[in-house]
Amino acid sequence: MSRGKLRIYLGAAPGVGKTVAMLEEGRRRRSRGTDVVVGLVEDHGRAHTRDAVGDLQVIPRSGVSHRGMRLDELDVPAVLERRPEVVLVDELAHTNAPGSTREKRWQDVLELLEAGIDVITTVNVQHLESLNDVVATITGVPQRETVPDAVVRAADAVDLVDMSPQALRRRMAHGHIYPAERIDAALGNWFRVGNLTGLRELALLWLADQVEEGLERYRAEHGITGTWAARERIVVALTGGPEGAMLLRRGARIAGRVAGRSLIAVHVVRSDGTESASSDPAQLESQRLLAEKLGGSLQLVVGDDIAATVLTFARSVNGTQIVVGASTHGRFTRLVRPSTMHAIVRGSGDIDVHVVTHPGDRGRRHVLRPAPSERRAAIVWPAAVVVPAVLAAVLLPWRDGLNLSSVLLVFLLGVLANGLIGGAVPAAVSALIAGVLANLLYTPPVGSLTIAQPQNIFALVVFVIVGATVATIVDRSTGRARAAAKGRAEAQLVAALAGDVLEADDGVRAVVDRARVGFGMSRVVLRRRGGEVELESGRPGPETADGDTDLVLPAGPDHELVLHGRPLPVADRALAEVFAAQAALALDRRDLAVQAGETERLRQADAVRTAVLAALSHDLRTPLATIKAAVAGLRADGVTLSAEDRSELLWSTAEAADQLDALLTNLLDLSRLQTGVLAPVFRPVSVDEVVHGALRGVPPAAVADDIPDDLPLLDTDSGLLERVLGNIVANAVRYSPPGRPVRLDAARIDGEGGDVVQIRVIDKGPGVPEKDRPAMFAPFQRLGDVPAGTGLGLGLAVARGLAQAVGATIEVEDTPGGGLTVLVEVPVAS
């Protein structure tokens, strides 16, 4: 049986029309003869949504009984028994009622897909797990119902249902989304233009990223290396010189005119260091920061041919435009050594190249550097012969006016040039050829190898020896400079790697990604010794099959780093080993972070146990001593107690028992919160029920209940919410002056994450300074304003922990006229 196909309608906010679009698609497929049923549709009281169901068959929902209430959910067994071709299921991120077979609706959908049934569903962008913190930043409210991104990414089709914020607000104002009594509050809260714009951008960007990922996967699977300009990517080639800032800003301006823009800077680190001599590490670091400020990034890439490496990198990231600085070479230098800029332009193909002039391309002193190794080998030996011959020919017109010493000095310049280009051996050969030419053309008798004067023999021999010696010294100096430049280039790359590891949330991922980009590989895999892949960067293509192009490096005792894509030069192996070592360190760092988290949890648990032991020796002994004394008085033989004395002892016993029960309950609750074993059971519950339970044991005169009767049901665990309010009320009553009761009030408001009921606990006590309010919710804190023995300071700590467990929030503000108001916001039941 083949797996069913999943289609998702993605929206930025409620009311954009996802459910209607899903139903219209269902009716369209039914008109073509497809067997379509409605598994579950949430109309939220909207008539046009109910009308959109039309004549589609609706599978009755299953009823789940929970605490005496019936909650309706998707009836998966009924859908499986009916076995339609397509089923419509609304609200993918919904949490099923307690007692259901599966916790989440997306898990129900996966079961239908495994049964071979196609599913069409809906979800809002704020319910995607990866965007939960971003949504909380935009709206101020985290979402409690989320769906894993992997479920949405695995969909066969994701359709965006889009609507501008202004149009959505008009729909709201016309009553097409919420009832009339909720419109004004909704427009002023969740449906603000800023919120809707931010959520809309999230939806568009998330979907664009998924489309891009699919495009890259298709290109890799089909071996496509050409540039597809589906999205403009601007690649800025940096040399490490001062002109880099200008190039970055020019690239940012080019990218700024294009939707979906992307700016990537690249600096090539040559494996032999020859091209890095002019780069400045401080300049590169400042340019990296500038690139990030402009919304891009800087990548360091290893390569011997700078132009070819830049082009390969641009194609690997599907770059559409390259920004490069104008050549700084003079005309003579370009004749001998073509510039990188011209090489990029010649090899760019379908990639546009922007050549930017800058102050550095005029008036700069040009230093003759060794040509790249692949071109140097082709010109070294011809130059060893041609340079002396050219110099000899140039000097011929002045042969009669030049003595041998002057001629040999000119030939020595040619020997030095050959030493710079080719090294010691070609320069020595050039010196020997120059000596022969000097003897033949400039030593009497001219035209013969015979030397008439003995001092000329001495001069020629010394010339050859000096030329060879100087060429050797120059070659060694050049080699040392090249080694130093290579070391500096590698240090730059390693420093960039270390920065990525320290700054990234996932250091292991940063190392693997940097290794793939830095060495120009198509795929880098971090795997365990047994072959299990733990992390992968890039995608396998035709060139990444296992074979001679693979490089396997140990990354710690249990892992290894595997590079695919091209043979790595021997000179770069040591640098690759550094990356493998960094991967091992990143793995160790990740493991240490996990261990540190576990250690911190154990430390907190130990602190709780220590505080509990201290409490047993102080606060808990007071009620125990009271109970013991009262019971001893009641049981004393030979002592006759009056009815009033007996009643007083019994009252003291009961009061001490209640105090002991409250202390022990708080300790147990704190322990359950610390160990993570608290499991709330959500159900719809009335506000009156919760408040009535929270006020048990509180003197009636101490509280004034002003909560209205027409509030909606809450989606919460009633027992835990009772404890939250009970602890807050008890704390408020403790600090309220006599004759000033604590007031309870509540109202329904539109929170930015949905409808909530806000319960206010208002006292007229001394209040708490704003700087001390965070300490109110820390365990074993009494802010120093009550004497020892009046409690453990656990009430508010337990209240906040329990509130978080049931999805409620607690905030504190000043009471007008003096005192403190605690705000408890609880989500409204669907």
Residue 763 has pLDDT above 80, yes or no: yes
| Band (630; pLDDT cuts 50, 70, 90) | confident
How far, in Å, CA of 316 to CA of 565, rounded?
12
Residue 820 has pLDDT above 60, yes or no: yes
Asked if 207 and 110 sit in the same domain, the reply is: yes
Highest mean pLDDT among 116-125, 280-289, 577-586: 116-125
CATH number for the domain spanning 703: value is 3.30.565.10
The pLDDT value recorded for residue 89 is: 93
**Contact by Cβ (8 Å): 350, 314:** no
The pLDDT value recorded for residue 37 is: 94
Residue 333 has pLDDT above 90, yes or no: no
| Band (453; pLDDT cuts 50, 70, 90) | low
User: Is 0.75 surpassed by the pTM of this model?
Assistant: no
Q: Is residue 89 part of a domain?
A: yes
How far, in Å, CA of 519 to CA of 508, rounded?
17
Helix ranges (DSSP H) in 504-568: 507-518
Identify the H or E element spanning 534: strand 533-538
Asked if 106 and 189 sit in the same domain, the reply is: yes
CATH number for the domain spanning 353: value is 3.40.50.620
More confident residue, 755 or 606: 755
Residue 205 has pLDDT above 80, yes or no: no
Residue 547 has pLDDT above 50, yes or no: no
**Contact by Cβ (8 Å): 686, 713:** yes
DSSP-derived secondary structure for 96-165: PPTT-SSSBHHHHHHHHHHTT-EEEEEEEGGGBGGGHHHHHHHHS---S--B-HHHHHT-SEEEEE---H
Residue 9 has pLDDT above 90, yes or no: yes
Q: Is residue 721 part of a domain?
A: yes
Last residue of a domain, one of 639, 656, 674: 674
More confident residue, 707 or 450: 707
Q: Is residue 744 part of a domain?
A: yes
The pLDDT value recorded for residue 548 is: 44
The pLDDT value recorded for residue 120 is: 95
- Report the percent of the chain where pLDDT is more than 90: 9
Last residue of a domain, one of 337, 361, 385: 361
| Band (736; pLDDT cuts 50, 70, 90) | confident
pLDDT in tens, 608-617: 566 555 555 5
Last residue of a domain, one of 480, 514, 533: 480
The pLDDT value recorded for residue 208 is: 75
The pLDDT value recorded for residue 718 is: 81
Mean of pLDDT values over 306-334: 77
Give the residues across from 266 on adjacent strands. 237, 299
Domain count, the chain: 6
DSSP strands (E only) in 655-718: 683-685, 703-705, 714-716
The pLDDT value recorded for residue 551 is: 80
Helix (DSSP H) and strand (DSSP E) numbers for the chain: 26, 24
| Band (674; pLDDT cuts 50, 70, 90) | low
User: Closest Cα partner for 619 from 794, 798, 796, 797?
Assistant: 794
Asked if 213 and 99 sit in the same domain, the reply is: yes
3-state DSSP assignment of residue 296: coil
CATH number for the domain spanning 51: value is 3.40.50.300
The pLDDT value recorded for residue 364 is: 45
The pLDDT value recorded for residue 182 is: 62
Asked if 92 and 175 sit in the same domain, the reply is: yes
Asked if 138 and 34 sit in the same domain, the reply is: yes
The pLDDT value recorded for residue 681 is: 74
Highest mean pLDDT among 36-40, 170-174, 528-532: 36-40
Asked if 388 and 444 sit in the same domain, the reply is: yes
The pLDDT value recorded for residue 638 is: 72
CB burial of residue 225 (10 Å; 0-12, 13-18, 19+): middle
Phi/psi-derived region of residue 438, left when phi > 0, alpha when psi is between -120 and 50, beta in every other case: alpha
More confident residue, 654 or 280: 654
Q: Is residue 604 part of a domain?
A: no
Asked if 625 and 695 sit in the same domain, the reply is: no
End-to-end CA distance of the chain: 37
Domain range for 474: 377-480
How far, in Å, CA of 673 to CA of 290, rounded?
46
Asked if 204 and 71 sit in the same domain, the reply is: yes
Highest mean pLDDT among 48-52, 104-108, 625-629, 792-796: 104-108
Residue type, 89: V
DSSP-derived secondary structure for 351-388: SEEEEE--GGGSSPPPP--PPPHHHHHHHHHHHHHHHH
Kindly report the average pLDDT of the chain as a whole number: 76
Asked if 641 and 719 sit in the same domain, the reply is: no
Give the count of beta carbons closer than 10 Å to the beta carbon of residue 271.
Answer: 21
Q: Is residue 611 part of a domain?
A: no
Residue 830 has pLDDT above 60, yes or no: yes
How far, in Å, CA of 430 to CA of 426, rounded?
6
pLDDT in tens, 417-450: 777 676 677 777 777 787 778 777 777 777 676 6
Q: Is residue 226 part of a domain?
A: no
The pLDDT value recorded for residue 276 is: 46
Mean of pLDDT values over 372-383: 62
| Band (165; pLDDT cuts 50, 70, 90) | confident
CATH number for the domain spanning 516: value is 3.30.450.30
More confident residue, 154 or 779: 154
Q: Is residue 198 part of a domain?
A: yes
More confident residue, 6 or 210: 6
pLDDT in tens, 514-546: 777 777 777 888 888 777 777 877 665 544 444
Q: Is residue 490 part of a domain?
A: no
Asked if 87 and 164 sit in the same domain, the reply is: yes
Mean of pLDDT values over 609-635: 68
Asked if 722 and 817 sit in the same domain, the reply is: yes
Asked if 28 and 159 sit in the same domain, the reply is: yes
Give the residues across from 821 on adjacent strands. 762, 813
The pLDDT value recorded for residue 787 is: 38
More confident residue, 375 or 643: 643
| Band (113; pLDDT cuts 50, 70, 90) | very high
Residue type, 592: L
How far, in Å, CA of 593 to CA of 597, rounded?
6
